Structure 1
Amino acid sequence: MATLTQDQIKTLEQTRQRLTQLTRSLGSLVASLNQSDPLPSWTSLQSQASIISNNLLSASEQLSANQDLLSSIVAYPGPEYPASTQARSTLEQLLRTKLDPRVDDWVGRGRTQASGVGDSEAADMAELWAWAPIEANQEARRRNWGGNFTLEEREMGIENVVTGLKRELEDDDDEEDEEDEDEDDDEDRDGGNAAEGEMEIVGAHRRSGGGLEFDLAVPPKMMAPEVPLDGILRFMTMGQAPKQR
């Protein structure tokens, strides 16, 4: 291959930077997992995973965009390259014609997954998706999803259920009984208020012609408003002050 141009050298430098960023982000995640006790929080892991995903996407786009150039470049040591013992490992990596065995395994598994599943696996997957909704619906009908305990947990005794919570969960049946009692009390109060509006019997005596006659309490008369209604309407529409009674 001829001598590289400045644009090609710039492309190689950009590729090196993308791969360096990806390597550093992966190394940071591995170091945090190995050194942290206990493990890092979920927010920290999610943040690092997001950085790795962005760096991986950036490196993948860079490699795909310059695939022709990168596949045609051949690395070879020049006369000025140091052939010392320290640089020999780097030289061997640059002159390697095959992938590292671990990398080769990763690439093989990735290509297998990218090629898609076979016909038998696709049929099994379709059968699973056809079976799952019906079975999930039937299972949901057998359980009490609205309460703190399922029907199975009630049958074996809620005192034997290990929830993993510091606070104790209340039994749903007890709460329902309390709600029913509250509703009954409300109905009783409503009935009492309705009875207050009815006439009250204060006495009874016999009629001269026979039979009983009851004395009813006279309900209080409704007090008429101080200002008549037509006066209020006249004041609202015309602004004329109403006359007092």
Structure 2
Amino acid sequence: MPGRVVVLGDLPERYEIERLLTERHPELHVETVGLPWEMVERAAGGRFDLALVLRGPITAHEQRMNTIASLRRNGFAGKILFAGAFLTEKQDAVRAGADYAFDPDKQVAEQVVVAALYRPVVAADHPYLRYLFVGEWAETVGYTHELPAEGPDLLLVSTSCHNAGTFYSALAGFVREHPKTRCIVVEDDGTEAVRTDALATGIQPYVVPAQEGLGRVTALGLGFLRERWLAGVSAA
């Protein structure tokens, strides 16, 4: 789980999180900054996966929120975390564009950072389904007629890739055996027999792009991925 992290905060706090991360997770690259513009400049350059904004004095709250908003305005595509004690400041951070806000007295910042760097795995049989998630916070992998050896976070199944027969019964069994895997069946082609077998699995959601559009697949998939990511960081 290598990753690049930039931390904004006052000197003692940011050096402590840098020390913990580099000692316990030497595979990570960690940089710290003391000024908001430094974080925006570095993070928006595309070199970082995650930006952590540490809490500061109440007088610096608006500045911290502006930093988060500036990261988004400048196209930062990674995850933004905010550490703050009060509910209102955490709500402000999420509104400004933070992906997750937490109380560092209740969750250890180092553990939250490590959990937040995890990219949910998307397994898709058809290349165009994988392409839907290129550039998103996810790791995309392919498979053909054999289902993945391990349950991914999201499994995308295109009916155009599989004939009627044993595949769909195997798919139903796979989903039962991997309850944490979310599955989307995409009816994009195939015979009536294929459609019947795919529907018989009972797997939902079942999307017909000709009627609902590919955007429906993307929206559902991104929702599932964010749900899985949030579950990980909130449990850290």
Higher strand share: 2
Higher helix share: 1
Higher RCO (CA 8 Å, separation ≥ 6 residues): 2
TM-score, structure 1 length as denominator?
Answer: 0.18
Which structure has the larger Rg? 1
